[in-house]
């Protein structure tokens, strides 16, 4: 299965969620690919070198002798995740574009035998990472459950949905005032799970803290539930049947006073 994790505005924790999904996938062998054209962060966060990584994988799309086996470009992160690390700066954008133009077949082949999680950063019209999202079986879109940010998501669905061959899910990140049911009704996109704000779990996967039991924290349990729900969808939906965009951009309205408050994470 090929799983893409992205956002359309802000920085709600895309990379951290992608690492968590790869680490907590219920079946062994899941790998992570940093495909954010804005540049990779994991190599610096965990004290690695960006090579081998995305640049070599992109080069393999032009020169097959460079190794089109995804395993040749992996590095093991301290949190137990095998990852294709992206370089910083403009080098990442060039590598993502090469991969989008020539390398989706490599990703699809790798996803045929194990789960591949793509960290795509922010999606924009015409961005090279949008083509990678379009090749995915499942696309997770992170957004804070606040009116302004969710309306920004709704305004982008008309150009985003036609580019996706797989299924789009929304993942509310952090605390907010908009209940899950209202998000689904207004945007027409199902919520597969929410990830709470975390003082310990998320920083552990960002290389900021060493928290050996992060999987048992509320953040880790929430991400594990999302991974299990995604794994349960296999076999993945057939590619080539994009979802249709809504006729008009959906707009969320302020919740009524009786709306249930978001519980603080434990």
Under a CB-based contact definition with an 8 Å cutoff, are residues 187 and 150 in contact? yes
Averaged pLDDT, 39-63? 88
- Rounded to whole angstroms, the Cα distance separating 212 from 215 reads 8
Give the pLDDT confidence of 151-193 residue by residue, as tens digits.
Answer: 999 999 999 999 999 999 999 998 788 888 899 998 999 999 9
Domain ranges of the chain: 2-231
The kind and range of the H/E element at 128 are: helix 128-135
Q: Looking at residue 67, what is its pLDDT? A: 54
Give the pLDDT confidence of 67-105 residue by residue, as tens digits.
Answer: 568 888 999 998 899 999 999 988 899 999 999 998 888
SS (H, E, C) 29-52: CCEEEECCCCECCHHHHCCCCCCC
- Judge whether residue 18 has pLDDT over 60: yes
Residues in a beta bridge with 142: 171
Identify the weakest region by mean pLDDT among 27-31, 162-166, 209-213, 215-219: 209-213
- Rounded to whole angstroms, the Cα distance separating 129 from 246 reads 23
CATH class (in words) of the domain with range 2-231: alpha beta
What 3-state class would DSSP assign to 207?
A: coil
């Amino acid at each position: 299965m090929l799983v893409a994790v992205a956002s359309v505005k802000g920085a709600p924790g895309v990379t951290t969620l992608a690492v968590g999904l790869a680490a907590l996938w219920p079946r062994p062998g899941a790998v992570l690919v940093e495909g954010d054209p804005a540049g990779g962060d994991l190599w610096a966060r965990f004290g690695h070198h960006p090579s081998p990584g995305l640049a070599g994988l992109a080069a393999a799309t032009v020169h097959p002798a460079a190794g089109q086996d995804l395993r040749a470009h992996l590095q093991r992160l301290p949190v137990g995740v095998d990852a294709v690390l992206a370089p910083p700066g403009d080098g990442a954008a060039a590598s993502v574009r090469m991969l989008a133009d020539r390398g989706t077949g490599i990703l699809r082949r790798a996803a045929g035998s194990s789960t591949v999680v793509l960290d795509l950063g922010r999606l924009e019209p015409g961005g090279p990472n949008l083509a990678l999202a379009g090749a995915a079986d499942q696309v997770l879109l992170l957004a804070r459950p606040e009116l302004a940010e969710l309306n920004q998501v709704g305004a982008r669905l008309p150009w985003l949905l036609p580019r996706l061959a797989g299924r789009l899910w929304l993942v509310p990140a952090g605390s907010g005032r908009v209940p899950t049911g209202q998000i689904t009704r207004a945007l027409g996109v199902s919520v597969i799970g929410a990830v709470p704000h975390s003082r310990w779990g998320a920083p552990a996967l960002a290389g900021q803290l060493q928290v050996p039991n992060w999987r048992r924290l509320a953040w880790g349990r929430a991400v594990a539930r999302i991974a299990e729900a995604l794994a349960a969808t296999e076999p993945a939906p057939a590619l080539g049947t994009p979802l249709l965009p809504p006729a008009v951009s959906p707009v969320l309205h302020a919740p009524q006073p009786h709306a249930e408050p978001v519980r603080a994470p434990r």
